[in-house]
Every structure is written in structure tokens, then in C-alpha cells.
Amino acid sequence: MSFGASWFRKPIAVALVVCIVLAALITIPILAEAQATVALSPESGYGNSIVTISGSGFTPAVLVKIHFASIPVLSTRTESDGSFTDKFIVPTDQDGVYRVTAVDAKGRKATTWFTVIINPMLVEIKKEIRNIEDKLDLLLKPPPLTGEVTIGALLPLSGDLAAYGENERAAIEFAVEEVNAFLTKAGAAWTLKVVFEDTQAQPSVALEKVQSLAARGIKFIVGPLSSGEVRNIKEYADANKILVVSHASTAPDLAFDDYIFRFCPQDKSGQGPAIARLICDEGISTVVAVYRNDIWGTGLVGATETRFKELTGKEFAEKMPYDPSAPDFRTLAANLASAVETCNADSVLYIGFEEAVNFFKEAETHSILGTIKWYGSDGTCLYPQLLDPAVGDFCVATKFTNTIFAPTKSDKYQKVHDKLVSRLGHEPDPYAYVAYDILWALTYSLLTVNKYDSEAVRAVLPTVTESLFGASGWIVLDENGDRKFGDYDLWRIVEVEAGAKYEWKLVGTWLCATDSISWLP
């Protein structure tokens, strides 16, 4: 019997098919167990820079948490193929190589490394300081600054906002001590002196104090705290070329190229978008706004509503301004309860100051107002009177969450923080760090122009701040002399002892660079 070629081909073909199937079956579990990997872009950079992280090989459609060293910096979700791409901010400016770890909800883990390098701008600042010290004789050629160089500080040292004034005064006094030590070491012929004036946070009093300082020949002022005060002194300051640098004014309507500088972001670029993102991320759909009918209140509500509409396509359901000089909170609370019911609102945005305590007492008499979320701002954030048990329960029930400017955490921040805590006996508010930075910015500017001239300092101040990394972080000013960027911390009142003791708790941070919220555990 003879065997043809086709007889041999059939078993060979069958064997090949079996091999292919077995190979596929063997490969499938191998692929399923592919190792998770992560990659960074870039793999090195400055502290506080934005980094893109990409991962693959993770469990599909689960939560992934990213840690930079031991610091949580991001939570994101994987796609259906187990991959993800997102961004985080490098949380340190200390140079070195840091481990970046991604772990998903099923325990799958991958690690890579990021190298933090020193920002050359910091090196240049140190060189510039050394240059100032080496060539101070040249800088102080006639007519030199000599004796005491005086600037003013407008702070609420009495009244309901005196706690802020106390913090800012301590920060300014500490800055003056450091500045004078620096000037002495450098061989300067002058020292810095600050004259404090109490505005009581009242616009009319602020104007009186500016006029009093001007009568003494003072051309530079730190403060005032509120936008209402800044607005009331603006015309006089511009007309008399008095350089004013506020540490906390944020009203958008004060953004002009004038003699007013503001070292805190104005609300259109900072706090307004931060509040809107917070509201949206918490699933809120209908907002009723209650706010002070002044330049700050109307400006912040407008900035928040603008961003809220960009995110949701909706405007606020109702806006209810009140006269801060003569508020009728009983009627306002009743009208708010009616509006919440009519609009089926699920949140209230409250923009006010210390009067919040009295308003909340009236609001809690309407049960519907205690069943929805409330949001606030830097006007009420960390306000100690809101911890009173008379309103504490209401704040806890409504998860009253407030925003406030967040200084960049750094060695310089920590130094100032520790000094202020030792002097005050409590945590300072964030604007104290800004007030501290203003003193140094004015000092460097006066050294640069070498004369007591507000026009000259106004011309160089934006350039000086470009190279100034202060206790509050980088101070980059826009064309109107306002701080361009800034993150905002989120604070909420929590119950420590049932019905008796409450405290403010940091719950997250809105990151300006990514318009996202990093929540704390």
C-alpha cells in the first residue's frame, strides 16, 4: 500500500491547531497577570510642579491611590483595560529622589521614582541677596535711606475681627525683627519701623487712619483686611500716591492698575472657582445664595455663580443680598426657608462675616434649613464664635464647609508658623503669612530703589515679587498688581464632644493648577 502526501498533511495540520490552542490557553493567564506599571512625565522637576502619571496593568474600573513618598497626592480610577492617566502636584520643594506608588483597590501596585530639583530661581534669589550684601555701599550712595524708615499697617485690632488683626500684627512684628537683623548684618544705614492703626474693619475708620498716616509723611501701608476698606481708601491713596498692599482683599471689582496691590488672589481667579468646584463635586444642583450687599459679597457670589454656570449650565436658583449695617436676620431666615422649599434647593451659599452667628441662630429655627448643605468662604472660615454650641450643632448638621487661601507649605512657612504659634498660643490664620511676606517685599523694593519713593517702589514691586518665595509661597502678580494664583483649603466644623465642644477641621484643598479638590481622609 502506498501513502500519498495528503495522508501526511492531515495529522500535521491537526497537531498545529492543537499547539496553537494550547499556546493561547497558556498565554491568557500570563497576560491576565501582567505586571502593573506606572510612568511619570516629566520624571524630574521643581517642587509644586504638575506631573502626569500614567498606569497600565491594573484592575479594570477601580479606584487607584497615588502616594508621593508617604504623602497622598491623587485618587483616580482605571479604565476598562486597567489603565489610567491623571495629574498631581509635587508636594515638596526639597531636592531628592522620591518614590511614587500607585495601589488599586484590589491591591495591585506599581512604583516609580521622581527627582525633585532645586528651582534655579531660588538660587538666583540667594545670589541676589549676596550681591546686595556685597554691594550695599553702592546701593546706599547719596541720597541714601537713613535712620528709621516708617511704613503703616491698617489692621482690625478691635471689634469682631480683632482675632485677624492680632495674628497679622504678630506676623508683621516678626518680619520687622528679621528685616532689621538683615539690614544690620548688611551694613545698611536704615532700619524699618511699622506704625499700627486700628481700623475696626470699618471702611470709614480705615480712611481716617490713612489720612492720619499720610499727615505723618508715611507713603507705604500694609493692609487693610477687607475689600470694603480698600475700596474706601482707594481714591485717596491713588491721589496722594500712597502705596497700599492688602493681605486679604479679594473683591474682583478692585482689580485696577493703581496704587493698590493685593497679595491674595482676587475672587474671580481664586475663591469663586474654588467654591464652585466644591459645590459641584458634592453633587449639588440647586443653590440659593445669601450674602452681604457690599463690594466683596456681591463680587464673590458673582465669581462663584459664573464658574458654577460654566460647570453645570445653571445659574443660582435665587440670590438674597442683605444690608450688613442693619440686617434683619429673622425675616431673612424666613424668606430663605421659603425660597429653599419653593426652589427645592439642596444647598445654601452664605457669604458674610461675624454676623453669621446671629443669622445661623435664626436659620436653625426653620427645620428645612438644617437638612441641606451650607457653604461659606474666608469671611467665616476658622471664625471661633461659630464653635459656640448655640450654632455648632447647626454647622455640623449642614456640613458647613468654608474656603480660605492656602499658603504653600515649605520650610519658610514652617518657620513663621512655629514662631507665630509660640507667640500667639494658637494657629494663625493664613493671611498672617501674607502680611509677613509684604514686609519683605517692601524691604527688597526699598533696597532696590534706595529712596523713600512710592512711585519708584510701585514700579519695581512686581519685578521684586517674581523672585520672592515667601512664607505664603510664590508671589506672582498680574497686570493689576493682584496675586495671580493660589490654592484654597477647605475647613468644616466637627463635633468633638456631643452638644458641647466643636472644632474646625481641615478636610481638603482646592488646587488651582488642576481645578480639582484633594480630599483628606
- Contacts of 508 by beta carbon, 8 Å cutoff, 6+ apart: 489, 490, 517, 518, 519, 520
Please tell me whether residues 276 and 395 are part of one structural domain.
yes
pLDDT at 135: 65
- pLDDT at residue 144 in the model: 77
Smallest CA-to-CA distance from 47 within 507, 451, 397, 469 is with: 469
Torsion of CA 289, 295, 296, 302, to 10 degrees: 40
Q: Could you tell me if 320 and 332 are in contact, meaning their C-beta atoms sit under 8 angstroms apart?
A: yes
Which cell goes with 482?
Answer: 493682584
> Does one domain contain both 245 and 183?
yes
282 within a domain of the structure (yes/no): yes
The 8-class DSSP code of residue 428 comes to P
Q: Within this chain, do residues 378 and 254 fall inside the same structural domain, yes or no? A: no
HSE-up of residue 127 (Cα within 13 Å, Cβ side): 6
Cell of residue 205, nine digits: 475708620
In angstroms, the CA 160 to CA 383 distance is 10
In a domain, 132, yes or no: no
287-292 and 318-322: which strand pairing? parallel
Phi, psi of 157 (to 5 degrees): -85, -5
- Is 224 among the domain residues? yes
Q: Which residues pair with 517 in a beta bridge?
A: 510
CA-derived radius of gyration, the chain? 29
| 64 lies in the same domain as 103 | yes
pLDDT at 22: 44
Q: Do 247 and 213 fall into the same domain?
A: yes
The answer on 102 and 222 residing in a single domain is no
CATH number of domain containing 77: 2.60.40.10
**Residue 447: inside a domain:** yes
Q: Distance (Å, rounded) from C-alpha 289 to C-alpha 303?
A: 12
Q: What residues make up the domain containing 18?
A: 1-33
Same domain, 161 and 24: no
Closest CA to 369 of 347, 343, 342: 347
204 and 153 co-located in one domain = yes
Per-residue pLDDT at 19: 42
Please count the structural domains in the chain: 4
Q: Residue 131: its pLDDT value, please?
A: 78
**386 located within any domain:** yes
DSSP string of 219-234?
-EEE--SSHHHHHHHH
Q: What is the pLDDT along the chain (521 residues), one digit of tens a residue?
A: 433 444 334 444 434 443 444 444 444 444 445 799 999 999 999 888 899 999 999 999 999 999 999 999 999 999 999 999 999 999 988 889 999 999 999 999 999 999 999 887 767 777 777 777 666 555 544 467 999 999 999 999 998 789 999 999 999 999 999 999 999 999 999 999 999 999 999 999 999 999 999 999 999 999 999 999 999 999 999 999 999 999 999 999 898 889 999 999 999 999 999 999 999 999 999 999 999 999 999 999 999 999 999 999 999 999 999 999 999 999 999 999 999 999 999 999 999 999 999 999 999 999 999 999 999 999 999 999 999 999 999 999 999 999 999 999 999 999 999 999 999 999 999 999 999 999 999 999 999 999 999 999 999 999 999 989 999 999 999 999 999 999 999 999 999 998 899 999 999 999 999 999 999 98
Same-domain check for residues 253 and 151: yes
* Per-residue confidence (pLDDT) for residue 7, from 0 to 100: 37
Examine the domain organization and report whether 42 and 83 are in the same domain. Answer: yes
Residue 131 lies in a domain: no
Whether residue 198 is contained in a domain is answered as: yes
The DSSP H or E segment spanning 67 is: strand 63-68
In a domain, 310, yes or no: yes
Same domain, yes or no, for 391 and 515?
A: yes
Question: What separation in angstroms does the CA of 324 have from each of 304, 321, 366?
Answer: 20, 9, 22
291 and 380 assigned to the same domain: yes
CATH number at residue 423: 3.40.50.2300
